Homo-oligomer: A and B are copies of this chain.
């Protein structure tokens, strides 16, 4: 029996990945190009077209019913345009219109990359079975997405769940976004490394100053490294607690490179969450590591179109 497939694109500052995905979340066909991030907008689009071209060339293409796109943000689902911070050639770029022309008029849905990760974790990962969840990526930046009432909550423009840029320290350090004391400014990998260095941590002979190196030092007991992870944990906890107070969530899922630091991050995070998530309806909140891997962006983009169709069907 031939069941429907969807096409998925995961567009980031480094690579453009594409896939055909079935209703179980299995990836049947893959394509990928490096993102020509410093080139003009149409050159970037040609890389997208090449990825889509490989998918279209598959004998399975005839079963594809829709295209889901998860893109580095900000995106604007209401206009079908994208303006990824790391792709300067795309500013208000009409990605949805261009992609739709390539795929012969199939329905296309655009969401932010954090929203896509949330869709993947809800469908296949640690948020499965949870109707109200925050899924985060803690890495070079801090992103996220929300599941509310059992459904993906992309918001009108596809950017909801932007926990990296909520201020948890209104007098804090300026953030490149223009605000102050943002979660990302305190808890991203580069922020963790910068603070550890400023407080006296020194890298080993390999000169590695990544957050992973700080995590290794913290595991070995380095006080500045430990303090920097604790500070990041407090910022994440305040952000997660704010989310719980605002929309009621019962689980927060942490992925991304810094999320992989494990208990060096999660232990102080759970402790700090007890300090900040004090309201009766927020106290049961749990924090767990993400379960989806490097394909989360693709799987999530597929989930966004598969669940949109399920929602539409349920609404008839």
| Bound-complex Cα distance A76 to B234 (A) | 28
A138: min CB distance to chain B, Å: 16
Per-position binary interface string of chain A over residues 138-180, scored 1 when its CB falls under 8 Å from any chain B CB and 0 otherwise: 0000000010110001011101111101111111000001111
Answer whether residue A4 sits at the interface, using C-beta atoms and an 8 A cutoff: no
27 contacts between A and B (CB under 8 A): A74-B280, A76-B281, A83-B280, A146-B247, A149-B153, A153-B247, A156-B248, A156-B281, A157-B281, A159-B248, A160-B248, A162-B245, A162-B246, A162-B279, A165-B245, A165-B278, A166-B242, A166-B245, A167-B168, A169-B171, A177-B278, A177-B279, A178-B275, A179-B241, A179-B276, A242-B246, A243-B246
Separation in Å of the A274 CB from the closest CB of chain B? 9
Query: How many residues of chain A get a CB closer than 8 Å to chain B's CBs?
Result: 47
Query: Which one of B157, B177, B241, B276 lies within 8 Å of A248 (CB-CB)?
Result: B157
Q: Does A132 contact B (CB under 8 A)?
A: yes
Contacts of A155 in B (CB 8 A): 132, 247-248, 281
Of residues 64 to 104 in A, which have CB atoms within 8 Å of B's CB atoms? Answer: 74, 76, 83
Which residues of chain B are near A170, meaning CB under 8 Å?
A: 168-169, 234-235, 238, 276
Question: Given the complex, which residues of B lie within 8 Å of A277, measured CB to CB?
Answer: 179
The answer on a CB contact under 8 Å between A275 and B132 is no
Answer whether residue A315 sits at the interface, using C-beta atoms and an 8 A cutoff. Answer: yes
How many angstroms between the C-alpha atoms of A149 and B157 in the bound complex?
Answer: 12
User: SS class of chain A's interface: helix, strand, loop or mixed?
Assistant: loop
Which residues of A from 199 to 229 have beta carbons under 8 Å from B? none
In this complex, the member of A83, A171, A250 whose beta carbon has the largest number of chain B beta carbons within 10 angstroms is A171
Instruction: Report the bound CA distance from A148 to B161 in whole Å.
Output: 13
Q: Are A165 and B76 in contact (CB under 8 A)?
A: no
Residues of B contacting A54 in the complex (Cβ-Cβ under 8 angstroms): none
In the complex, how many angstroms separate the beta carbon of A270 from the nearest chain B beta carbon?
A: 15
Closest 8 CB pairs of A and B: A155-B248, A178-B278, A166-B242, A162-B245, A157-B281, A74-B280, A170-B238, A167-B238
A296 to B156 Cα, complex, angstroms: 27
CB distance from A117 to the nearest CB of B (A): 15
When distances are taken between beta carbons in the complex, the residues of chain B under 8 Å from A167 are: 168, 238, 241-242, 276
Does A131 touch B at the CB level, under 8 Å? yes
CA distance A281 to B132 in the complex (A): 23
